[in-house]
Structure 1
Amino acid sequence: MRFNHVPRLLRLAAPMILSSSAITVMQIIDAIVLSRHSGEAVAAIGPSGMAVILFQGFLFGTAGYAGTFVAHNHGRGDSDGVRSSAWLGIYTSLAAGLLALALCWPVAQLFHLAGHEPEVARNESTYFLICMAGAFFPVIGSALGGWLSGIGRPAVVTAVTFVSITANALLAWGLVLGEWGMPRMGIAGAALATVLAQAVGAVLYALFFARAGGFSDAKARRLEWEELRRFLALAMPLGLRISGELTAWTLFLVFIGRLGTVELAASSIAFRINGTAFFPALGLGQAAGVLVGHARGAGDDDAVHAIAWQSLLVCEVWMLAMAVVFATASAPLIAVFAGDGPESARIIETGSVIMKFVAFYCLFDAANVMLGCVLASAGDTHWVARTFLVCSCTFLALLWLIVGTAPGLVAEWTLATVFVLATAIIWSLRFRTGAWRKIEVLRGADGVD
């Protein structure tokens, strides 16, 4: 095999890895700072953080699909189409921000029904409420970040993401612990720091878009309802797939939380650590998606097959390396987030067991991430969303059965690992059929399978 697409993949991937890792990096920072505040806050940030990404996943997954349209238009040399596609993401972001405001308070109350300890539930509700109220900022950032990546300027995305992460770290330290004359707000301060950092990123993206003439282009700003409908027909299934996956994992954490605070804290920490492997892999997948968009926009579908398998090989090497780290250094990794409270030793012991499962399923998650991104960029979002819905429902039904009959940490994490393996096999088989070749992203979306 000629690895002719790997150099372009890696040039695109480095900035996109940082961008895709941003929210997890922010939550890791929050978790580290909160470990110096209270154990209940550390336990709470796992389910509430997953829930934030769950709801925002649909919103920024939908708005961010504008980047796929941008990449296809860029591939065929249509500069007018590039700007119009960016505006599709902007309009979608505005609607998403209003929807998030409407849902943030009622959904936040559901944490009180999860069966967690009262203080944990209050912290979960607070973190979710504040992050969702500011959801417009990461969503518009996703849309405009997609525009920059689609036109081959991911280095700007890197710069903006770095500024946002730095702002979050400084604000979290001050607002959670009351340093530098700031109020001591605990988990509310962590959430506020995240929202403010995302707002900084959104403003910077908007300034770059304005400098490129995006806001002054009256033709691009014109809202074409038929084009928006076609965009949403492909984008919303992707958003639903993202939120569906996160729903499954959030409910998984909720069920784990019924085993006890130690199990919930250890699982939450494991998910945070897993993010150091997953989100760089997602950045690789997004970079592969840009290459796929350029190739399909230029009419070169034959290149997509090589892009996908070469990208998967690179991703698998990364995941294998991380799996080795997770398996051999699980206790020290968990200890970073466990704090020094009375239950720290139990959290480290439990987390060390969980990290063995995480290390094993990382080997299969590469195919989940990479081929999922390739299929989405190729336009095969409807089939992926429908299939993942079936897989997730099956996973949750089996999880419910285990919880009702023989609940246990090992049994529940074993099922989660099998779920990851099964979906990896399904995406691989779907890509090999070549059904995505029949889907047109920029024209004829009415015929999407």
Structure 2
Amino acid sequence: MNHVPRLLKLAGPMILSTSAITLMQIVDAIVLSRYSSEAVAAIGPSGLAVILFQGFLFGTAGYAGTFVAHNHGRGDLAGVRRSAWLGIHTSLISGVAALAFAWPLAQLFLLAGHAPQVARDETAYFGICMAGSLFPVLGSALAGWLSGIGRPVLVTAVTFFSFVVNALLAWGLVLGEWGLPRLGITGAALATVSAQAVAAFLYSGIFMVAGGWSDRIARRLAWPDFSRFLKLAMPMGLRISGELCAWTLFLVALGRLGTVELAASSIAFRINGMAFFPALGLGQAAGVLVGHARGAGEDDQVPEIASQSLVVCEIWMFAMAVLFATCSGPLMSLFAGTGPESARIIETGSVIMKFVAFYCLFDAANVMTGCVLSSAGDTGWVARTFLYCSAGFLLLLWLISWLIPSLVAEWTLATCFVFFTAVVWSLRFRSGAWRKIQVLHQHH
């Protein structure tokens, strides 16, 4: 198990930074619950919509980290800087595009048929977060650079600092504490964007100290290199958005069964995050090791890295599955509140947590193999198959919700979907097709 120590050293910081976005939204939700129930209702859909759009931009700009890892493995310092700049250029372009589209897209919430105050809150939150997209996307690109050169501890430090900024500003701006204006959900959005801006400035400072800003040659946007980067990176962004979209539509379908089912399922997803985000951090760490190995021309190391990382990830997921299966009631009651429906939510949620526990075991293979294939450069194939699998999943979901609408049937389908993608990606990795894909140009 010679790769495990390096994996764990990289994974710790990455787990913390992947969990940070969810933590920020949880803090926002807690603070908003002291402001108004409309604001709490509004942050669900608008928060998801922000992540849907930004997920594509994050995934694309953050893929610069894969190029960085390959160049780092090759020992090419100039290549490392050029790769970091590919991510920076991507984030600048997408930041301008997001700013242009933020207002028109935000108006769509007014057509969703939600209560007038909820719709206004959704529009405000989405519009502000989208307009500030440049900051988290630039942060994602530069965090990718730091992870790719094996310095993820700096990523953790920046993430934690921005998390504290977000929590303090949210408290002040939502509730009007410490002489700040009482802005409600607008305050939550401003706090989030400010915290992301602080992180982006800190990352930029680290990049400047490393000589990245002053490197004229790396900074130049060479179109052939940039289009090659986008060809590999955009499928990564699409897959992230596609995955979020599929699970959002799954929640929408569950919402048709009733409020209790929807509430219990939403809570189950939040609890599942406890297992999923650390697994994703492990997957990203494995991806960096794969990038280093492929950059150094050591393709034969990749299957070893993948199998050892998968073992670590499976041990983690197994532990979480046992927890979910045996303590589902107490876990649900943490989030279920004390309303008249809470007993039914806990009861329904306990059934759902058994499914979550079961599919966690496949999700380890799903996350790990997906990250390894993407880091090896096989993003196009991964995105295409994921699209086909998701389309099949959503079609069956639509049929079930019309013909035999039941919680058990819909969650069984979701579990099969996770299992199926895990099998498909594992077979693809076994086939070795990724060996033929060149992420970097050959040395001139």
- What TM-score bracket applies, with the shorter chain setting the length? over 0.9
Taking the TM superposition and a 5 Å limit, the aligned residue runs for 1:3-402 are 3-114=1-112, 120-402=118-400
Identity of aligned residues (%): 78
Q: Aligned partner of 1:327: which letter? A: A
| Displacement after TM superposition at 1:283 (Å) | 0.7
1:363–1:109 Cα change, 3 Å = farther
Distance 1:48 1:274, change over 3 A: farther
Q: Is the 8 A contact 1:46 1:268 kept in 2?
A: no
Matched residue type, 1:222: R
In the TM superposition, what whole-angstrom CA distance separates every residue of 1:148-196 from its partner, at most 9, and x where no partner exists?
0111111100100111111222222333333333333333333322222
**Matches of 2:438 and 2:294, distance apart in 1:** 9
- Give yes or no for the alignment of 1:440 onto 2:438: yes
Unaligned 5+ segments in structure 2 are none
| Aligned-partner residue type, residue 365 of structure 1 | D
**Structure 1 gap segments, 5+ residues each:** 445-449
Q: Give 1:380 deviation, angstroms.
A: 0.3
Deviation at 1:418, TM superposition (A): 1.5
Query: Contact conserved, 1:134 with 1:195, CA < 8 A, in 2?
Result: yes
Residues 210-259 of structure 1: CA deviation (Å, up to 9, x unaligned): 11111111111111111001101100111111111111112222223333
Asked if the contact 1:116/1:257 (under 8 Å) is kept, the reply is: no
Closer, same or farther: CA 174–268 of 1 in aligned 2, 3 Å: farther
Q: CA deviation at 1:25?
A: 1.4
Report what 1:431 is aligned to: 429
| Alignment check: 8 A CA contact 1:326 1:358 kept | yes
Cα 1:27/1:334, change in 2 over 3 Å: farther
Q: In structure 2, do the counterparts of structure 1 residues 295 and 78 end up closer, same or farther at CA, with 3 Å as the change threshold? A: same
Change over 3 Å in CA distance of 1:127–1:357 after alignment to 2: farther
User: What are the Cα deviations for residues 70-119 of structure 1, in whole angstroms up to 9, with x where unaligned?
Assistant: 00000001000000000000000011112222332333344455565655
Q: Distance in 1 between matches of 2:408 and 2:35?
A: 29
TM-score, normalising length from structure 1? Answer: 0.93
Identify the range of structure 1 (370-379 vs 99-108) with the bigger mean alpha-carbon deviation: 99-108
Structure 2 CA distance for aligned equivalents of residues 219 and 78 of structure 1 = 14
Task: Please state if 1:403 is matched with 2:388.
Answer: no
Q: Secondary structure at the match of 1:21?
A: helix
362-371 or 433-442: bigger deviation: 362-371
Query: Which amino acid in 2 is paired with 1:324?
Result: V
Letter aligned with residue 440 of structure 1: Q
Q: TM-score with structure 2 length normalisation?
A: 0.94
Q: How far off its partner does 1:122 sit?
A: 4.5
- 1:42, distance to aligned residue in structure 2 (A): 3.9
Q: Distance in 1 between matches of 2:312 and 2:101?
A: 39
CA distance in 2, matches of 1:111, 1:260: 22
Evaluate the alpha carbon distance shift between residue 375 and residue 348 of structure 1 in structure 2; reply closer, same or farther with a 3 A threshold: same
Q: CA 1:313/1:223 → structure 2, altered by over 3 Å: closer, same or farther?
A: same
